[in-house]
Structure 1
Amino acid sequence: MTLAKFASFYTSDGQGYGLVSDHGIIDLSRRYCSKWPTLREVIADGALTRLADEAATLAPDVSLADIRFEIPIPAPEKIICVGVNFPDRNEEYRDGQAAPPNPSLFIRFPRSFTGHGQPLIRPPESPQLDYEGEIVIVIGKGGRRIPEGSALDHIAALSLCNEGTIRDWVRHAKFNVTQGKNFDRTGSIGPWLVPFTDEAQIADIKLETRVNGWVRQQDRTSRMIFSFRKIINYVSTFTTLVPGDVIVTGTPTGAGARFDPPIWLKPGDVVEVEADGIGLLRNPIADEV
């Protein structure tokens, strides 16, 4: 079965969203912008599947060469990231401690991400730009204190993230990592959203990150310390989840910081994050100008 791929993009005519095919973009925003200005409103209305069905026979309106991919959900209310969610990643800390009973969380701002194909930006403040390939879940049905048993009913779609990090800036304070996680355009989300269907779709996804074709990270969602159900349950305990919220679910071992000596990203490098049934997110690296 071919899954629908919904992307947000920018053309010379402005911002839009649509369905991605091998031959271009079916521009849904031209047809539905008065009802659903962005994919966030489509998701809130539970209309992803309906739009995919209605557009199935339409021809592309725009060539892929004529668009710039944006992050799929513009201006989400929340982007919540999970830290240390694979066993080998926990062992990297070498503190002898077992995985904690609850996930470690931090917040990122939308401006810290860019879209597929756009450069990740190394800031002048530090050369320590690092990669973290991750799977993204997008909330479709809001809720508070969501039980694990029904948590997957609240997922609308899946995507990918390169949760780029400025490593020395996550150690500027004692208790937080906010600074190093939020430099403008150091991470990416995309290329698109794939509608969520059922638990089998996410039970054992292979997730891989490559730098210049070299595999740096590889693991499977079946090995996650905190399941998708647990993450949604835990996060919704302290904050109300709303449609369009983005949850970045954790990276495997193998980031550049863990090499001896560390291998930081530099201009000219290309990072690819790929996952079964979702797609491939690719970004070059550039210095801020």
Structure 2
Amino acid sequence: MNTLKLISFHAGDRDRFGLLHDAGVADLGERTEFASLRSLIASPKGIEAARLIAEAAPVDFKETEIAYRIPVPDADKIICVGVNYADRNAEYKDGSELPKYPSLFLRTRGSFTGHGQPLMLPPESPQFDYEGEIVLVIGKGGRRIPEENALSHVFGLTVCNEGSVRDWMRHAKFNVTQGKNFNHSGSIGPWIVPVDDADLSALSLSTWVNDELRQEDTVGRMMFSFSYLIHYISTFAELMPGDLIATGTPTGSGARFDPPKYLVEGDVVRVRVPGVGTLENPVVREQV
């Protein structure tokens, strides 16, 4: 069975969703009953319908004819996990013990862009940074989900560069919202791979800036597992189909170098999760 790659994209003057296969892109909006990728994710029939079309491999567009959007542009929630690798906690050099609970914050949909689209370098700060992450896509919603059943609520996986504006994250005492929500400062994509097509226990992540490897780690070294994150988050928030959970970044972001290696115009950030995909974006200065 070939890996299914589900995408949201823009082509022919409108937004669409579909799947990418070897020959090109099939428009699932024109070939199924679903109105969006989020509605396909929410339906028990969605994945089967997509696989049948993938087997037939029709081509509605060449990949060069589309612009990638974030995979679930209408996600109800994008929930991000802060420090989730033990080495990341040590990076802060504050002598703190390992956290008992995950650090969480929300990001707006507009703070992200799709694969191949520019990351916007804001003129307000010289401290624009990258953070490669693995993203869980919720398929079956729920509240107070038991940890032992949590993975059954995952529809699939995608990749994230959870870009940050570091000095704006320190503007307030108790939140990082400002520095995490600059327009198009992060990216998600290129596609969603269904959970049945991936090995959750063996995932790894690497981040490059240009051709320099900056981050590399495995999910086995996370402090809070996928199952625990879903359980914990669903205790206070009802998870919905299509919700995205960015599960944290390894050590090696630009702020942790001495001197720091922040992003500049012309850089290219590439985040790879083998078996899921490679997300790549150029850095472009925002014009005001």
What is the TM-score when the length of structure 1 is the normalising length? 0.96
Q: Contact 1:46–1:140 at 8 Å: present in 2 too? A: no
**Deviations, residues 18-45 of structure 1 (Å, cap 9, x unaligned):** 110132101111122xx31110000111
Q: Contact 2:107–2:181 at 8 Å: present in 1 too? A: yes
What is the one-letter code of the residue matched to 1:251?
A: T
TM-superposed CA distance for 1:74, in Å, is 1.4
Alignment match, 2:259:
261
**Deviations, residues 5-63 of structure 1 (Å, cap 9, x unaligned):** 0000001231111110132101111122xx31110000111334212321111322100
1:21-100 alignment, distance < 5 Å = 21-32=21-32, 35-55=33-53, 56-100=55-99
What is the one-letter code of the residue matched to 1:262?
A: P
What is the one-letter code of the residue matched to 1:109?
A: T
TM-superposed CA distance for 1:117, in Å, is 0.1
SS at match of 2:201: coil
Alignment match, 1:114:
113
Q: Distance in 2 between matches of 1:120 and 1:62?
A: 25
SS at match of 2:220: helix
Q: Distance in 2 between matches of 1:30 and 1:13?
A: 15
**Deviations, residues 107-146 of structure 1 (Å, cap 9, x unaligned):** 0000000000001001111121100000000111111100
Alignment match, 1:138:
137
Alignment match, 2:12:
12
1:217 to 215, 218, 230: 215
Greater shift, 46-55 or 240-249, is seen at: 46-55
Q: Distance in 1 between matches of 2:191 and 2:57?
A: 19
Q: Distance in 1 between matches of 2:265 and 2:14?
A: 28
Count residues with an aligned counterpart.
286
SS at match of 2:56: coil
What is the TM-score when the length of structure 2 is the normalising length? 0.97
Structure 1 spans left out of the alignment, 5+ residues: none
1:250 aligns with 2:248: yes
SS at match of 1:41: helix
What is the one-letter code of the residue matched to 2:276?
A: I
SS at match of 1:84: coil
Alignment match, 1:237:
235
Q: Where do 4+ consecutive residues of structure 1 move more than 4 Å?
A: none
SS at match of 1:46: coil
Q: Contact 1:43–1:140 at 8 Å: present in 2 too? A: yes
